[in-house]
Amino acid sequence: MDTKNEMIAPNLLDKFFQNYASCFENFDGPSLVTCFTSPFSIIHKRGITSFPSKNKALDNLTSLLDLYKKRNLIDATFTILKTTFVKEGQVLVTLKWDLSNGNNLICDSFKCIYHLINEGEELKILLVTNFEENLD
């Protein structure tokens, strides 16, 4: 994929987020962390958290996956609501997530904005802005 000189194709975005969702559904922290740049940040209701390394990110993402597993959130489905191309090889993507349990009951629903960049031949998440997630 050469996205440095062209806009990122919608099918590549869908494929990226299908893989990202699969990491959550499989509670696979090591694969999940590969979806991010190093460093990256997450903006959430408590502020902003920056991860200077993949190791720091893995600890945090593993804790999040443990919480999802404890709550039996085994299905992560997304809808791409908006795509804004920032510049060559960069895109902002707004997603709506529905997290369901084994009985197909939606337990959490929220929106995130992802700032994706082309890193080599792969898309990576540089920044996540999270809205409306209730994990308390």
Q: Which domains does the chain have, with CATH numbers?
A: 10-131 (3.10.450.50)
Q: What is the dihedral of CA 74, 80, 82, 84, to 10 degrees?
A: 90
State what percent of residues in the chain have pLDDT above 90: 58
81: nearest Cα among 123, 110, 51 = 110
Across the chain, the runs of DSSP E, i.e. the strands, are: 36-44, 47-51, 75-87, 90-100, 106-119, 122-131
Show the tokens assigned to 98. 């529905």
pLDDT above 70: residue 135? no
Is the pLDDT score of 132 beyond 90?
Answer: no
Instruction: Specify whether the CB–CB gap between 40 and 54 falls below 8 A.
Output: no
Quick: pLDDT tens for 51-89.
999 898 999 899 989 998 998 888 999 999 999 999 888
Could you read off the pLDDT of 83-100 as tens digits, one per residue?
999 988 899 999 999 999
**Residues comprising the chain, all counted:** 136
